[in-house]
Chain A
């Protein structure tokens, strides 16, 4: 049984850590910056414990009574601070606190000696508490507030090394692009307030999320409050925010750039938690989405298309973190597709397993960088001899990502593929078929780029690391380790310290066993009831679904699909092995940018390497040329030369009228003035006489 206070504490503990680090340690006791990491870790450990308690309570149907605290009263609608404790909240809280805890422990080693050590943990604490706030709250406007706060902590952490121009630019880009999506959420909120008197008439609060779920159900004869085009726009608006945050096409281009942040940040924010917030957001309003079929179609198609497109770009990247970033975009596409198909539990299941194995992969990339000083895989190779533990863990994470039995990714990806296969009737059959095809090709590509990454990094012979890279490019490394004590992007081929490896081991265990939280229908392994997480979510959502709404899709494990997808994945693995396992030897001698076998693709390779020219289109054509130069330039010109000039012109007219007509009269000659006075008097007198 959990109390209300303990639910709040999940969010308040990291917040308190942030306040103490930012207001006390950083400004006044920076000598003791080392405390900041430990403080946050302690806070997160307690939060994790409380989250697990909360999850237990939810699973057993023992939610505590939760109070609402009034923040602002807007007449028809009220903005309240109150937690919403349902399966989605509880699962997300456990994911966020556990991954964050692992990442912070890892950061103790990774960020050691950085001059911004306390600032780093302050931002991390801010992020974690904002993320927990986001998953906890029951009010859509408060949710939006945390949504933005999560975005700003991402901004601060991507730009953590703000003296690097690339980091500062990437931070800005991430914030602005996600904010374009956030417009949708804001307008959705405005629309809810637009309908607030109808909510109030039904005794509901337009900002209270459970009330919003209810509002799609018909109210007596009058129909539902949210229905028709209004409902479609509302859900599309919410989805737009999810597209931005989760890096879905067409707002995906910020996420790979976000890799400029410190690697633990990428692991926590840009792999496991914040980018999954888009999936969470759609899940949070799932009863509403289920009533909007056209929106679900959009969600499914965008998700599946992103899964495919991002995977193709991941094929050709040479930066290990960018491969993983595209992989993240692609996997988030899988989750979105599942949501679009009605398979809400499957999406969240994949979110959980992905959080574990993708955080592991990123921490592995950080570990590799710690040894080689670079992220460029062309200058790695052969690392398995030097860092066997990292190798083993990255292989586990990688195979889980590919979806190999019995690792966790196998189970969760299978559920998504099964739901695309069976369709389920939430969307038209052609949508689920198209989704299935795109996701299926995605499996092949995932297997290929993952294994390519593993081979290029760990197999073959070592190709010189940062030192060779600097020789080749003549430039500074953009590796994270520039801050490493007196070891500017240095090369020290060795396994990373225990404080970094231990959290990876724990995440690795997760990547192996988490699949069993949704045991297939015929086994109860490890004491977890079959289909546990799936049914948990079904029970969470079902009571608020109206009887005539389409039902959730609850895929059962299918041997057929599992076999097919495993074969596809093995084909991808085989291709990568053929091209890179041996072929990587060709890098061994003269390093200088050897040909990647994929470069045989010519223009196609170039198209992928240039990310389909989407970044160029957005940044050069749309923003710089069309918006900044042409549009803003024209308005600015108008402001300077028309709007502002009008005032000057009028002033000039008056001045010249004065100068030409009136000033000559002011001669200073008393005689002239006397004459004027006399004449004037005469005229007035004449006037009187005549009248």
Chain B
């Protein structure tokens, strides 16, 4: 138990409790919104508490705020309710709190089935928080699956376009991955030598290797890998993402790009690297190959897009490729592994979350007001919506890796780390920054610059509620860009034990 009571349980379940309260007590749409905002605000404060109270000192425990209750046990096998954060997950908890409140604010104008909308958003937040804080494999899987329900509802009810198709596609792709993960978890269960779902113990060096696992360790590695690679997503299992994003409502897009994809990257780091270091090192080249392909392929396809949301979605494929590439840096063959690549991958999870969240928020505002996301139909919007255009430009520049903004730090760390292990593939991936400049700036030119169009003459700029999340994310992006150590030092603490194992130490 942590010194401040069950802080993590509160952080995880507060949104769900809030959803129940709204279900039971909120009468008007207005009170639904107010309640949801209040809950999200408190949860943001809690998540920031988790982040700031995380003990960074030298002798501190690796996992903190740990809460553990026995759940059930079969023979020697124990499953437990086990929550805790380390340096890897603490920033992601904060990210979830941050984007959670942005999603609530971005839904302010929703006027169809308002109560349900907010309930699903809050349930979604609980499930994602749960994924980042669970340290029991079974609990992790439960939260992982729970997240599908609200997201499916949000896309298929409040979405646009081919929303049922996209929601179903999202569901099936993720479930496909989950099936593999479930098999892997069952295999762990059926191996008495392992004897635990406790991820803290599983992360100790050698636990997984300690005995005759039912199926080869490598296939366990790959089953987890498939689940996370689909979620990330990586080429060639990325195609659910553009559809889901394009048809999802703004809030769902923000959560999807902002935190749901990060579950994939988090899983890769926590489980594939943390529990299968040997396999991860052995197959790092596969990660690098997938990463480089995703970066370049994603960027090239992005350039062709004409729908703002699809464009951002494909750029996410490209940027998530950098996460793969950064993790692939562990395949270093000579010299010692530094933390640059893994830290860059973890940073990329956070920075991409804020940047893409901001891009989707701004796109949502444009779509609400101009009623189009088709880039050739836009143009000259900057003159009418200077706040939105400025936010979009800042996010876009961060996305193309401009120094002083957060994207630069993670990108450079990934490249620095990966280049040491795989110089030539990394040099190839670096081309992605030119392509990113191409699609971001060309999109800015077509959608925001140029002669103002008459039919946009009465567009209004963001109001206070709409501008608040934009400002929040811009501050985060600039803050991390200027002082990245705020995050890198925490990630470093979380990654250090893994790197020690990978470097052959105990």
Contact = CB atoms under 8 A, between A and B. Distances in A.
User: Does B bind A?
Assistant: yes
Interface string B406-419: 00110011011001
Contacts of B340: 74-75, 193
A191 B419 contact: yes
A532 interface: no
A229 to B, nearest CB: 13
Interface stretch (B63-71, B259-267, B430-438): B430-438
B162 interface: no
Contacts of B402: 148-149, 152
Contacts of B338: 74-76
Contact of B383 (A145, A163, A169): A163
Interface stretch (B39-47, B120-128, B216-224, B444-452): B444-452
A468 B338 CA distance: 67
Contacts of A172: 441-442, 444-445
Contacts of B430: 183, 186-187, 190
A190 B426 contact: yes
Interface residues of A, number: 50
A179 B419 contact: no
B415 A186 contact: yes
A149 B403 contact: yes
A176 B445 contact: no
A628 B401 CA distance: 22
A144 interface: yes
B336 A197 contact: yes
A242 interface: no
A610 interface: no
Given A149-B403, A162-B382, A190-B427, A635 B301 contact: yes
A70 B489 CA distance: 12
A99 B383 CA distance: 31
Nearest to B450: A165
A239 interface: no
A165 B449 contact: yes
Interface in A618-637: 628, 631-633, 635-636
B420 A632 contact: no
Given A72-B484, A186-B415, A190-B426, A175 B437 contact: yes
Contacts of B504: none
A644 B449 contact: no
Interface string A427-469: 0000000000000000000000000000000000000000000
A116 to B, nearest CB: 10
Nearest to B403: A145
A436 to B, nearest CB: 36
A647 B303 contact: no
Contacts of A149: 402-404
Nearest to B172: A651
Q: Say what secondary structure dominates the interface of chain B.
A: helix
Contact of A163 (B173, B415, B437, B452): B452
Nearest to A174: B441
Contact of B304 (A148, A197, A633): A633
A504 B427 CA distance: 46
A237 to B, nearest CB: 10
Interface string A249-290: 000000000000000000000000000000000000000000
B442 A632 contact: no
Contacts of B253: none
A28 interface: no
Interface string B142-177: 000000000000000000000000000100110000
A152 B401 CA distance: 11
A182 B402 CA distance: 12
B452 A176 contact: no
A357 B448 CA distance: 37
Interface in A157-176: 159, 162-165, 167-169, 171-172, 175-176
A176 B412 contact: no
Contacts of B191: none
B456 interface: no
B12 interface: no
A29 interface: no
Contact of A636 (B240, B304, B409, B445): B304
B449 A193 contact: no
B8 interface: no
A639 B239 contact: yes
Given A179-B433, A186-B430, A71 B301 contact: no
Contacts of B448: 162
Given A165-B450, A193-B420, A186 B408 contact: no
A36 B169 CA distance: 53
B488 interface: yes
Nearest to B445: A168
Contacts of A633: 304
Q: Specify which of A155, A159, A190 lies most central, judged by the most chain B CB atoms within 10 Å of its CB.
A: A190
B335 interface: yes
A644 B449 CA distance: 33
A75 B420 CA distance: 13
Given A71-B485, A162-B382, A187-B430, A628 B445 contact: no
Contact of A183 (B423, B434, B442): B434
Given A163-B452, A190-B415, A148 B173 contact: no
B22 interface: no
A212 to B, nearest CB: 16
Given A72-B409, A148-B402, A176-B434, A632 B450 contact: no
A643 interface: yes
A176 B438 CA distance: 6
Interface string A607-620: 00000000000000
A180 interface: yes
B427 A632 contact: no
Contacts of B431: 183
Contacts of A164: 450-451
A175 B402 CA distance: 11
Contacts of B450: 162-165, 168
A180 B409 CA distance: 19
Nearest to A644: B239
Contacts of A152: 397, 402
A72 B239 contact: no
A310 interface: no
A673 interface: no
Nearest to B339: A75
A405 interface: no
A635 B297 contact: yes
B397 A162 contact: no
Interface in B292-350: 297, 300-301, 303-304, 335-336, 338-340
Contacts of A189: 416
B376 interface: no
B380 interface: yes
A313 interface: no
Contact of A162 (B301, B413, B449, B488): B449
Contacts of A628: 303-304
Given A183-B430, A635-B300, A141 B412 contact: yes
Given A163-B450, A190-B427, A144 B419 contact: no
B6 interface: no
Nearest to A159: B449
A71 B483 CA distance: 7
Contacts of A183: 430-431, 433-434
B486 to A, nearest CB: 11
A76 B452 CA distance: 52
A76 B173 CA distance: 41
A190 B433 CA distance: 14
Given A172-B441, A180-B434, A194-B420, 17 more contacts: A72-B409, A146-B403, A148-B403, A169-B445, A175-B441, A179-B437, A182-B433, A183-B431, A189-B416, A190-B426, A190-B427, A191-B423, A193-B419, A636-B301, A636-B304, A643-B235, A647-B239
6 contacts: A162-B382, A164-B450, A172-B441, A187-B430, A189-B416, A190-B416
Q: Which 4 A-B pairs have the closest CB atoms?
A: A145-B403, A168-B449, A75-B338, A190-B419
